[in-house]
Amino acid sequence: MEHSTLLKDGYIVLPDETVKGSIRIRGEVIEALGDIVPLDHEEIIDCSDCYFLPGGIETHTHLDLESMGTVTADDFKTGTLAALAGGTTTVLDFATQFHGESMARGLERWHEKADGRSAIDYGFHMALTEWNDNLKNEMASIVADGITSFKMYMAYKGRMMVQEDEIYEALEEAGKLGATIGFHCENGLLIDLFTRRIREAGNLTPYYHQMTRPPELEAEAIDRLETVVSLLHTNHYIVHLSTARGLSSVLRARERGNDVIVETCPQYLLLDRSRYGTPEEHNFESAKFIMSPPLRERRDQEALWQGLASGDIQFVGTDHCSFNFKGQKEMGREDFSKIPNGAPGIELRMNLMYSCGVAGGRMDINRFSVVTSTNAAKYFGLFPRKGILQVGSDADIVVFDPKTEWTVTSDLLHENCDYTPYEGFSLKGKVRDVFLRGNRKVISGNVVVRDSDGQYLRRGLPDVTIR
């Protein structure tokens, strides 16, 4: 009989309740949970006073992505080790179909980047930079292959931006197949206009990046998207929602009957635009926070926290897109528009959301596990293999110690980046042990198994009933 391990005497976190008990792992799956009597010769790991959480599911990363003349600091090897250390056992990255390419070509390239290099299980969304009949004809085979979520950008004209006719047809086709499309909602045309004007006026410091993308442009794009959706009523979601205004647009669309699902990110919950300083300051350090959408106001953070807790927002991904400050962010020293957009976040997602969400009194531990794992598993077609602690599910388990208090410094992290936007954050609680399909890869916060044995996940269709 296969070796078994008993995680003894913790608190099992389920979507609606927390139960004191133990978990038995046999092979790669959960064999039993609850009140369990240890077997002879069974390996026993004491987990008293710790929570058992379903392994985190990261819904939004850009690993090994070429962007703005450089390539992200984290690839699949470093990014997934960082994820693992932080209690994330599944990652969904954006494979990209660039102009003129087939989706199959984009997918092939992403397999080359990821296969044999990932320390956690992984799947891909497919980002589409355009829409045409070839892509339309290809979509069914991509969905059949287990890529059941796509992405389109309403910003970045000339590189990725799509317009309403393309969105309509893509949604129509995805709808026939039962797949979903995530949208980057910002008005790309106005962003380009504002960028041109601000640069022509000689305003080139990092402060001005945010001035090119005011919050209204997110809400406007959501309104426009939801108008298209209301003609079709097909599955779709909004990636990295960053504003209270945007959330209001979502709520209005829902009142009109649109079934819209929403992702937000830790940076929009925890960091605000004061990080960009003032127009008078010329502190290039603020380039560390240059991302799109940009950081917003405190009142936006509050609205997003409330949305997450109430069920208006369904899951949390990080948009991890890391560039070193030295040598990469610095490419924009003379011009903010040349600063690579993005920041790291994959490693701290679970710890930040616990500390600031649960310990911070904004949501209970059950909702925390739902927005960091269960909902993503359901929406991205991985449930119940992933996203829940139950008999027969993959033994992707985080042993979380709520008592440890610690301070974030970038040198503690496994991300291959020379800074973290969360430097100096005092956190309550910490990921202790992490199991990937029964394999104890993290012990006491240390990654002890660094094998690249993450499996590629072919995914099912979205469960759109998540709240």
Kindly state the smallest distance separating residue 60's Cβ from Zn ion, in Å. 6
- Which residue has tokens 């106005």? 190
CB closer to Zn ion, 124 vs 435: 124
Please report, as residue ranges, which positions from 374 to 433 form the binding site for Zn ion (by CB under 5 A): none
One DSSP character per residue, 290-308 reads --SSPPB-HHHHHHHHHHH
In DSSP terms, 237 is beta-bridged to 182, 261
Kindly state the smallest distance separating residue 319's Cβ from Zn ion, in Å. 4
CB 67 within 8 A of CB 340: yes
Please report, as residue ranges, which positions from 126 to 185 form the binding site for Zn ion (by CB under 5 A): none
Kindly state the smallest distance separating residue 65's Cβ from Zn ion, in Å. 9
d(CA 5, CA 42): 6
Please report, as residue ranges, which positions from 284 to 323 form the binding site for Zn ion (by CB under 5 A): 319
Q: Which two tokens stand for residue 155?
A: 């910003």
Kindly state the smallest distance separating residue 62's Cβ from Zn ion, in Å. 6
The count of residues interacting with Zn ion (CB under 5 A) is 1
CB 466 within 8 A of CB 314: yes
Kindly state the smallest distance separating residue 72's Cβ from Zn ion, in Å. 11
CB closer to Zn ion, 6 vs 95: 95
Q: CB neighbours (10 Å) of residue 46? A: 12
d(CA 43, CA 46): 10
CB closer to Zn ion, 319 vs 415: 319
CB closer to Zn ion, 14 vs 127: 127
CB closer to Zn ion, 74 vs 319: 319
Question: Running DSSP on this structure, what letter comes out for residue 274?
Answer: G
218 binds Zn ion (CB under 5 A): no
Query: How far lies 427's CA from each of 53, 133, 422, in Å?
Result: 18, 50, 10
Kindly state the smallest distance separating residue 313's Cβ from Zn ion, in Å. 16
Q: Which two tokens stand for residue 140?
A: 């069914």
Largest CA distance in the chain: 75
Residue nearest to Zn ion (CB): 319
CB closer to Zn ion, 319 vs 418: 319
Residues that bind Zn ion (CB under 5 A): 319
